[in-house]
Amino acid sequence: MSVILSSKAQLEQSLNPYWKRGATIGFVPTMGALHAGHCSLMHAAKAANEVVVLSIFVNPRQFNDSADFDKYPRTLTEDIKCAETEGVDFIYLPSYDELFSGQSVASEVQLNGLDLSMEGASRPGHFRGVVEVVYALFEHVNPSNAYFGQKDFQQLAIIRAMVSSLKLPVSIVSCPTLREIDGLAMSSRNLRLSQSERQEALVLYKALSFVKKHWKNRPSMEVLDQAKQLIAASTLRLDYLLLVDPDSLLPIANNAQSAVVCVAAYCGEVRLIDNMLLLAD
């Protein structure tokens, strides 16, 4: 049975025995609406740590659209059942005031330009909000290892940059993107899609797969243009489709040994993102 904690004081009281004896603490920060992708993070944390903490907090600071924040799926009862099934020891439900009680060094941390492209360009302030909440959660939990999904590839790179810049004593563990049987990346936002939109959203996986198949044999811009045409022929509205370096997130040359193709598009009112890691044969 997972222990539910709703304050920093409760969290500290519960984790203090583990901190004192240097136990490994695995941490899975989420915004709830848990799905199998989150379960894979919990499973990885459970396998590698003595105790596992999962947090659920829908962070308003990373939403540049208040309507998007209001409509974000909230399924707390189901989330708690999911976490308990996965054997999570503690479920942390922090309050906004405790997370953001004062000025944070995360507000000024240098992100080396990683936050300027893709999601950063489309959602001003988004990554600063992400960095601030993740830093605050790390301060509260003091984890040994923290687990994030590769579906949010840019976010993962930025959190790693924050940890490196601030020399935080936590290892960032990335876990592969989980997909539905038809290829759609698992996402809490999928709950907002109608049945027809859910089918239309599959074009993102088709476009990424097209780039993966052809990126080493044909000019990058030509491949990207054809992938964009696939999306243009659907009902989705493309935000971006880019081929970037996995570390710098800058556009890559044709002779790169590895790359990530990243996409964002609107399916109805719902903004979906996805990516696919590409490696030269």
38 is catalytic: yes
Rounded to the nearest 10 degrees, the angle between the axes of helix 220-232 and helix 202-214 is 160
The C-alpha atoms of residue 85 and residue 139 are separated, in whole angstroms, by 27
Name the 3-class secondary structure at 273: strand
Q: Of 38, 43, 126, 214, which is the active-site residue?
A: 38
The C-alpha atoms of residue 127 and residue 181 are separated, in whole angstroms, by 30
Spacing of C-alpha 260 from chain mean position = 15
The C-alpha atoms of residue 155 and residue 72 are separated, in whole angstroms, by 18
The C-alpha atoms of residue 44 and residue 70 are separated, in whole angstroms, by 31
Adjacent-strand bridge partners of 243: 261
Q: Indicate the burial class of 226 (C-beta count within 10 angstroms; 0-12, 13-18, 19 or more).
A: middle
The C-alpha atoms of residue 281 and residue 267 are separated, in whole angstroms, by 33
Which residue type is seen at 152? D
Which residues are annotated as catalytic? 38
